[in-house]
Amino acid sequence: MLKSFGDTDGGEGGSLLSDAQPFQYQPNALSDDVTELAARGVSEAQEAECFAEYDIDMEMCSAGGAMYKSPAYYLECKARAFQKYQQCRGY
């Protein structure tokens, strides 16, 4: 039975990792440019279309919240509208 990481079942000296090969740090393939890391590939036109749909959805949420007189309806609708907006933008 293994009692610690330093013990081996075979009675040989060394630990379970004594035969492991060392590894070298490999820098990430991504650039250090923050704008490149943040870009999702959505064009400005697509972004504008997504925002226009989001704006319409928010207007519908406001109308529905007023019609049903329910703050809970508005909050849930607002959350769905934002989720839809993020999905449209590729997030």
pLDDT of 80 over the 90 cut: yes
pLDDT of 63 over the 90 cut: yes
pLDDT digits (tens, 9 = 90+) for 5-41: 555 555 555 667 778 888 787 776 666 665 655 555 6
Angle, in degrees to the nearest 10, between helices 44-68 and 71-89: 170
Q: Give the global pTM.
A: 0.56
pLDDT of 86 over the 70 cut: yes
- Break the chain into its structural domains and give their ranges: 46-89
> Can you point out the beta strands (E) in the chain?
none
**Mean pLDDT of all residues in the chain?**
81
